[in-house]
């Protein structure tokens, strides 16, 4: 703990609830004075991370440090940080003044000083003259201000904010975002902010930590995260994007949507499968096809206020989302260009499903709790542990759960230009990745079936 700039450090922290891993070996340094946002979909572990820092939960393993001291087991009332809760959590039996003075009274601060500090903080959140009001008579935005004042009046070193704006309407939210940002700059203390709203995260933060399924996906500045997402999850979660399958031909040359493109990425090897991300505003669209890298036909065009959002079918059969200030009529032929620096190439997290299973007899294998028919594997007997590889497109999804060998639920949908890449959650909580042309909705209950010939078996530990 020599790093003086670090105020909070999480080191290899894991946490499970009822056998389900919510945080999986997380390490994170939070610098003094920064505005850090934990961003991710619900259930990604961001709130649990915040509760570990505030002290409402303790890690199963790993350590939480504050100012270099281990605080993993310290109760919340001994920690010098304060929280703004999602639903305000104001004390309904106390008025505005007593709500804000609550912490100071407990700390036995002299009456006169309490009064001065409460007045000052009320002014800061523009709530002067409200001290005698009943908190339940205030609007949502006003309650939120009181909640912020109640936390700030204790002069914490770190302010934790758990989706503080989620209960406010859109306009109010934008105003509060600006105010929070100003408060952060004025106070100079560390803000740790939890949200599932990527726009809010991009607007407010110095640093964004993108989380999914209990793991940190990427840490970086808003610009880093937006322009250089490290994987398809981050690209899909932050902003709009076209995520496409590609092949890295060689350094600085990538093939996708049936064309070779020049890019700026190196070190992905030769002829390796990759994911390519292109932001919709980074595709240049024009009414002529000469000089274009590729061409296509406009399928739809919607006015979005500042820009138009268009879906264009490329002649090579891929659908792309494009944003431009000019509108192009549906049905018109257009040419398109992408600058090398706007092509973001990412290593694929996986190229097929790799599953561990057990042979039940020579023609059947138990995978993820379902018994699948398979081709016999030479030398394998019932009870042998095997590894099965199944390509994404070889998994068949059926309308009814009972029709499949396994039942599952569509969990994540990613459009890849000419097909959907789905993450399917099985009954046991395992993930299967499926490529399909069919349209499914998130939450659809599906049966999972795999053809015997598509299951490629090998013995485990036979190397």
Can you give the binding site for other proteins, defined by CB under 8 A? 54-56, 75-77, 82-83, 85-93, 102-103, 106-107, 136-137, 150-151, 154
By beta-carbon proximity to other proteins, the closer residue of 107 and 439 is 107
Q: Smallest distance, Å, CB 88 to other proteins?
A: 8
By beta-carbon proximity to other proteins, the closer residue of 134 and 361 is 134
Q: Smallest distance, Å, CB 93 to other proteins?
A: 4
Q: Smallest distance, Å, CB 183 to other proteins?
A: 18
Whole-angstrom Cα distance, residue 161 to residue 87?
A: 11
Q: Smallest distance, Å, CB 48 to other proteins?
A: 14
By beta-carbon proximity to other proteins, the closer residue of 86 and 323 is 86
By beta-carbon proximity to other proteins, the closer residue of 40 and 103 is 103
By beta-carbon proximity to other proteins, the closer residue of 132 and 441 is 132
By beta-carbon proximity to other proteins, the closer residue of 192 and 334 is 192
Q: Smallest distance, Å, CB 82 to other proteins?
A: 6
Q: Smallest distance, Å, CB 151 to other proteins?
A: 8
**CA-based nearest residue to 47, from 15, 11, 74:** 15
Q: Smallest distance, Å, CB 107 to other proteins?
A: 6
Edge-to-edge strand order for the sheet containing 353-361? 370-373, 364-367, 353-361, 385-390, 456-459
| Owner of token pair 């497109």 | 393
Q: Smallest distance, Å, CB 138 to other proteins?
A: 10
> What six digits make up the tokens of 342?
């706007």
Longest dimension (CA), the chain: 85
By beta-carbon proximity to other proteins, the closer residue of 55 and 59 is 55
Instruction: Report the alpha-carbon angle 150-154-158, nearest 5.
Output: 95
By beta-carbon proximity to other proteins, the closer residue of 191 and 233 is 191
Contact 225, 69 (CB under 8 A): no
Q: Smallest distance, Å, CB 47 to other proteins?
A: 12
Q: Smallest distance, Å, CB 97 to other proteins?
A: 14
Phi-psi region of 188 (alpha: psi -120 to 50; beta: other; left: phi over 0): left
First to last CA, the chain: 41
By beta-carbon proximity to other proteins, the closer residue of 106 and 178 is 106
Q: Smallest distance, Å, CB 79 to other proteins?
A: 8
By beta-carbon proximity to other proteins, the closer residue of 103 and 220 is 103
Instruction: Establish how many alpha carbons lie within 13 A of residue 394's alpha carbon, considering only the half-sphere containing its beta carbon.
Output: 15
By beta-carbon proximity to other proteins, the closer residue of 54 and 353 is 54
């Amino acid at each position: 703990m020599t790093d003086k700039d670090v105020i909070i450090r999480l080191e290899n922290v894991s946490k499970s609830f009822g056998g389900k891993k919510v945080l999986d070996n997380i390490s994170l340094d939070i610098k003094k004075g920064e505005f850090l946002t934990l961003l991710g979909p619900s259930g990604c572990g961001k709130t649990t991370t915040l509760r570990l820092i505030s002290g409402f939960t303790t890690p199963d393993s790993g350590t939480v440090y504050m100012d270099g001291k281990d605080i993993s087991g310290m109760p919340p009332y001994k920690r010098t940080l304060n929280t703004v809760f999602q639903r305000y959590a104001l004390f309904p039996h106390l008025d505005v003044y007593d709500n804000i003075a609550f912490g100071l009274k407990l700390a036995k601060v002299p009456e006169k000083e309490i009064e001065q500090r409460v007045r000052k903080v009320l002014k800061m959140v523009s709530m002067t003259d409200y001290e005698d009001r009943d908190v339940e008579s205030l609007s949502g935005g006003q309650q939120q201000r009181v909640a912020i004042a109640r936390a700030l009046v204790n002069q914490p070193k770190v302010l934790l904010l758990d989706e503080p704006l989620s209960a406010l309407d859109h306009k109010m939210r934008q105003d509060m975002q600006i105010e929070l940002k100003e408060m952060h700059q004025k106070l100079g203390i560390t803000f740790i902010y939890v949200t599932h709203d990527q726009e809010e995260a991009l607007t407010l933060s110095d640093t964004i930590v993108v989380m999914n399924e209990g793991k940190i996906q990427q840490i970086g500045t808003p610009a880093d995260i937006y322009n250089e997402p490290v994987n398809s999850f981050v690209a899909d979660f932050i902003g709009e994007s076209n995520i496409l399958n590609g092949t890295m031909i060689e350094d600085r040359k990538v093939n996708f949507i049936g064309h070779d493109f020049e890019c700026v990425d190196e070190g992905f090897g030769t002829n390796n499968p990759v994911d390519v991300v292109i932001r919709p505003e980074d595709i240049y669209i024009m009414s002529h096809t000469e000089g274009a890298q590729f061409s296509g036909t406009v399928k739809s065009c919607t006015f979005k206020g500042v820009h138009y959002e268009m879906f264009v079918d490329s002649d090579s059969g891929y659908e792309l989302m494009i944003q431009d200030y000019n509108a192009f009529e549906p049905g018109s032929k257009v040419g398109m260009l992408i600058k090398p620096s706007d092509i973001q190439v990412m290593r694929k997290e996986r190229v097929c499903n790799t599953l561990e299973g057990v042979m039940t007899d020579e023609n059947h294998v138990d995978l993820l709790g379902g018994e699948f028919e398979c081709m016999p594997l030479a030398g394998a007997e019932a009870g042998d542990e095997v590894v099965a590889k199944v390509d994404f497109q070889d998994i068949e999804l059926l309308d009814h759960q009972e029709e499949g060998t396994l039942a599952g639920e569509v969990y994540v949908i990613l459009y890849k230009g000419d097909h959907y890449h789905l993450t399917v959650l099985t009954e046991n909580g395992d993930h299967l990745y499926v490529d399909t042309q069919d349209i499914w909705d998130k939450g659809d209950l599906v049966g999972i079936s795999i053809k015997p010939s598509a299951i490629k078996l090998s013995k485990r530990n036979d190397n």
